[in-house]
Amino acid sequence: MAALLLHVIHLILLLTKSQAILKDEQWKSASATYTKETDGSIITEGACGYGDLHKASYGKYSAGLSTMLFNKGSTCGACFEVRCVDHILWCLQGSPSVILTATDFCPPNYGLSSDYGGWCNFPKEHFEMSEAAFAEIAEKRADNVPVQYKRVKCERRGGIRFSMSGSAHFFQVLITNVGLDGEVVAVKVKGSKTGWIPMARNWGQNWHCNINLIGQPLSFEVTASTGRTVASYGVAPLNWRFGGTYEGKQFK
């Protein structure tokens, strides 16, 4: 009887997860604008903490998200397919799409109407794109265009990257280049002298713990929003340093 109950619970969980994935794969309505940068991409450090987005491998396909989509930073690193729709003057013919990575927060401006200037006002769903990425889906003369979006799998080259910062009693790691859904919901770190230590989200995709890990080779366990976990053992060697970036395994 107990085995049957466990089997039923397992089937219910699988069904719930499948429904959630299907929901994410459906097109949803939003709007999009672009920010002008001299090299056609958003390169300044945003609310996700990635720093130079070219070094983080996101480059011109980075985007700032409105409050509804940003979700207090937990969406950082997630990938979205975006296409311009329902505007014969501004949308490019055939409604081509681009894949964007969430790297920044688009703050609300309640001094302006959400239909004119306050694009990121709550509860609007809005993407602030680079000029170069925007030009792949719409005419640059447009100020604001209607779009459709859906969550998609992040295609990354190489493994997950761990960038260290902090001090002897405050260890912080920035996590980038995450595949699968790109959205990290939990991180653990393990030194050669410790067990697995849960880390707390500091901001964006910066995770921290108040433990001295200097002089120990480090392993990391990263959990995505799908519930899948990947462990990278011995990512950082014994002589790792603050300011260094180390590459681990990738979600498959």
Task: Decide if pLDDT at 100 tops 80.
Answer: yes
Return the H-helix or E-strand segment holding 79. strand 79-84
Return the H-helix or E-strand segment holding 35. strand 28-35
What is the predicted pLDDT for the residue at 34? 92
Query: Mean pLDDT across the stretch 50-61?
Result: 68
Residues carrying CATH 2.40.40.10, the chain: 28-151
Query: Phi/psi of residue 46, each to 5°?
Result: -105, -165
pLDDT per position as a tens digit, 201-213: 998 899 999 999 9
Query: Mean pLDDT across the stretch 6-17?
Result: 38
Q: What is the CATH number of domain 160-248?
A: 2.60.40.760
Selection from 36, 29, 32, 28 nearest residue 60 by Cα: 36
Q: What is the mean pLDDT of the chain?
A: 86
**How far, in Å, CA of 154 to CA of 223, rounded?**
15
Residues carrying CATH 2.60.40.760, the chain: 160-248
Q: What is the CATH number of domain 28-151?
A: 2.40.40.10
What is the predicted pLDDT for the residue at 224? 95
Task: Decide if pLDDT at 242 tops 90.
Answer: yes
